[in-house]
Chain A
Amino acid sequence: MSTLPDATRFSRTRHVARKERAEAFAKWLFFAMSVAMIVPLIAIITYLLYRAAPSLSWEFLVDVPRKGMREGGIWPAFVGTLNLVGLSLAVSAPIGVLAAIYLHEYSKDNWFNRVINLAVINLAGVPSIVHALFGLGAFVYAAKFGYSVLAASLTLAIMTLPVIIASTREALASVPKAFRVACWNVGASRWQTIQGVVLPNSISGILTGVILQVSRAAGETAPIMFTGAVFYKAVERGDLFPYGLTDQCMALSMHLYTVSTQVPNVRESIPYATAVVLLGSVLMVNTSAIALRVWLRNRKRW
């Protein structure tokens, strides 16, 4: 190296110039793609809000539909979605999280667990319409729940379960193995290790995974349409739990489908306002998931 004259050592060679051009190009390309990702989101929200503006009001949210859904609000559908999603997560979250803890922390790598893993992965990829048919057969007919909140919630639960298992396992896998070994070395049992070190450090990931399933469950139409959601149901305005477990119910996604395609002469802004409420609730849930994750992240200890 020292034999090279200084001018050569520090001058900008063609190779360096090419490298810098490639670097600049790559950076702008990646930046452009990330902007391209945001544009549709903003466009969708702006367009929806613009079209929905004439109908959007607090009244629209808490009022019941009137005049064959051509007037009034969407309370029964909104509260129906809340009930369905809440009930389905109350079933799928505990089962999914506990199953994932077993699969990741306890189970050995034998054929039985490989089959379970395979089942989880494949279940997560089953289209929702197939879940709908399964729910119809299993819960509505075989279990004799009929078309009901219960059958629809359980169908949604089956649908979200594999994803919750997968996301929980991801969260558990993010806790380094060395922590577990360190606990085992001082005579802690698996459960002591899990509750002392593993869960406190994976809970943010686990909760995020669960909460993201809220938006998925809230948005699905097919599974509930087949198993318990109906066109119209008379409900008291502002009532938070208008539906019994065996009642049929309304839901936002179903309602959106109905007012967009099945009811003639609906005011144009009503489907858009319904979509805004659906999207708004989902975004609100997602935002709370992010806030929760940030809060728990800040408490992360390594």
Chain B
Amino acid sequence: MAIEVENLRLSYGGREVLHGISFGIRRNEIFGIIGPTQSGKSSLLACLNRTIDFTADAVVSGSIRLEGEDIRRMKDVYGLRRRIGMVAPLPVGLPLSTYDNVAFAPRAAGLRSRGDLDVIVERCLRQAALWDEVKDRLTSLGTALSGGQQQRLTIARALSHDPEILCLDEFSIAIDPVTTMRIEDVLKELRRDITIVLVTNLVQQARRLTDRTMFLWEGRIVELDTTEVMFSETPAERRTYEYVRGIFG
């Protein structure tokens, strides 16, 4: 197991949004999380890399283990965040050059050598299928790229710190279908090396890409099974059947 979550509870100022959920994510799988908005998907991701710590009134209990190690006990929280790549719903190019966008994380981790940075920047931009489009203008602003390019830039940045796990939070809501397909191809490539957590409210996207799918609803797991079963005629829960067919949600 890459990640084991046990009885995870999260509340914001007394309002509980995750009600004690437990599940595991296997190594090198694409793990889908589906569910309507406000079901706690994004909050769950923030718990994984402990950026939830930046939310003042959030209270977390239960345990999350990364490769068997409790993330609450990790001394180096920055190291933890480097082990998990995060891609946000809206593309966020930092107001820096394309090169600096990708080099930001390695630099924050203390890497200074220009040669090493060059190698990392090229590798990540290639992995994100963006290299050919930006290789001639690495010094121009990352924020000047188109939305679809920025989202791939975000993916390159998330890969720049060599994560074991890549989490994508509804990465396709602000980009065009063509770019979405390109990124989906990127993900299929990446899965050989890393574990991918794909949060999406496009159920068909989950169906296309994921090995296993978890249906989260109002902070509880409705069902977690192989994607095949989840999208079959006979999932264990009636609500799963109805949700993936758009009958409720």
Residues of A in contact with B (beta carbons under 8 Å apart): 108-109, 178-179, 181-189, 192, 196-197, 200-201, 300-302
* Chain B neighbourhood of A197, CB < 8 A: 94-96
- Tell me which of B88, B141, B154, B161 contacts A187 (CB under 8 A): B161
Q: Which of A179, A182, A192, A200 has the most CB of B within 10 A?
A: A182
* Chain A neighbourhood of B81, CB < 8 A: 184-187
The closest CB in chain B to the CB of A196 belongs to: B104
* Chain B neighbourhood of A201, CB < 8 A: 95
Q: Say whether, besides A197-B94, A201-B95, A302-B143, A185 and B158 are in contact (CB < 8 Å).
A: yes
Can you report 12 A-B residue pairs in the complex whose CB atoms are below 8 A from each other? A109-B56, A178-B90, A182-B157, A183-B108, A185-B158, A187-B80, A187-B108, A187-B109, A187-B161, A189-B78, A192-B108, A301-B96
Check if A185 sits within 8 Å of B86, measured CB to CB: yes
Check if A301 sits within 8 Å of B51, measured CB to CB: no
A-B contact count (CB 8 A): 76
- Tell me which of B79, B80, B92, B109 contacts A182 (CB under 8 A): B92
Q: Say whether, besides A186-B161, A197-B95, A178 and B108 are in contact (CB < 8 Å).
A: no
Residues of B in contact with A (beta carbons under 8 Å apart): 49, 51, 54, 56-57, 78-82, 85-86, 88, 90, 92-96, 104-105, 108-109, 141, 143, 154, 157-158, 160-161
Known interface pairs A183-B104, A187-B80; 17 further A-B residue pairs with C-beta atoms within 8 A, sorted by A's residue number: A109-B56, A178-B92, A182-B94, A184-B54, A184-B81, A185-B51, A186-B81, A186-B105, A186-B108, A187-B78, A187-B81, A197-B94, A200-B95, A301-B95, A302-B93, A302-B141, A302-B143
Q: How far in angstroms is the closest Cβ of chain B from A55?
A: 50
Check if B82 sits within 8 Å of A186, measured CB to CB: yes
> What DSSP secondary structure best describes chain A's contact surface?
helix
Complex alpha-carbon distance, A197 and B105, angstroms: 12
Q: Say whether, besides A178-B90, A179-B94, A186 and B157 are in contact (CB < 8 Å).
A: yes
* Chain B neighbourhood of A187, CB < 8 A: 78-82, 105, 108-109, 161
Check if A188 sits within 8 Å of B94, measured CB to CB: no
Check if B94 sits within 8 Å of A181, measured CB to CB: no
Complex alpha-carbon distance, A201 and B141, angstroms: 13
Complex alpha-carbon distance, A188 and B108, angstroms: 6
The closest CB in chain A to the CB of B105 belongs to: A186
Complex alpha-carbon distance, A170 and B136, angstroms: 37
Q: How far in angstroms is the closest Cβ of chain A from B38?
A: 19
Complex alpha-carbon distance, A179 and B100, angstroms: 14
Complex alpha-carbon distance, A3 and B124, angstroms: 59
The closest CB in chain B to the CB of A184 belongs to: B51
Q: Say whether, besides A186-B158, A188-B105, A179 and B95 are in contact (CB < 8 Å).
A: yes
Complex alpha-carbon distance, A181 and B57, angstroms: 17
Check if B56 sits within 8 Å of A181, measured CB to CB: no
Complex alpha-carbon distance, A201 and B93, angstroms: 14
Complex alpha-carbon distance, A183 and B85, angstroms: 11
Q: How far in angstroms is the closest Cβ of chain A from B32?
A: 20
Complex alpha-carbon distance, A188 and B100, angstroms: 14
* Chain B neighbourhood of A185, CB < 8 A: 49, 51, 81, 85-86, 88, 158
Complex alpha-carbon distance, A201 and B96, angstroms: 10
Q: How far in angstroms is the closest Cβ of chain B from A283?
A: 32
Check if A181 sits within 8 Å of B51, measured CB to CB: yes
The closest CB in chain A to the CB of B101 belongs to: A182
The closest CB in chain A to the CB of B90 belongs to: A178
Complex alpha-carbon distance, A182 and B79, angstroms: 15
* Chain A neighbourhood of B157, CB < 8 A: 182, 186
The closest CB in chain B to the CB of A110 belongs to: B56
- Tell me which of A109, A189, A302 contacts B108 (CB under 8 A): A189
Q: How far in angstroms is the closest Cβ of chain B from A183?
A: 7
Q: Say whether, besides A187-B79, A197-B94, A182 and B108 are in contact (CB < 8 Å).
A: no
Check if A181 sits within 8 Å of B108, measured CB to CB: no
Q: Say whether, besides A108-B56, A181-B51, A197-B96, A188 and B143 are in contact (CB < 8 Å).
A: no
Complex alpha-carbon distance, A189 and B81, angstroms: 10
Check if A301 sits within 8 Å of B105, measured CB to CB: no
Q: How far in angstroms is the closest Cβ of chain A from B50?
A: 9
Complex alpha-carbon distance, A185 and B56, angstroms: 17
Q: Which of A179, A185, A302 has the most CB of B within 10 A?
A: A185
* Chain B neighbourhood of A186, CB < 8 A: 81-82, 85-86, 104-105, 108, 157-158, 160-161
* Chain B neighbourhood of A109, CB < 8 A: 56-57
The closest CB in chain A to the CB of B80 belongs to: A187
The closest CB in chain B to the CB of A182 belongs to: B92
* Chain A neighbourhood of B94, CB < 8 A: 179, 182-183, 196-197
The closest CB in chain B to the CB of A201 belongs to: B95
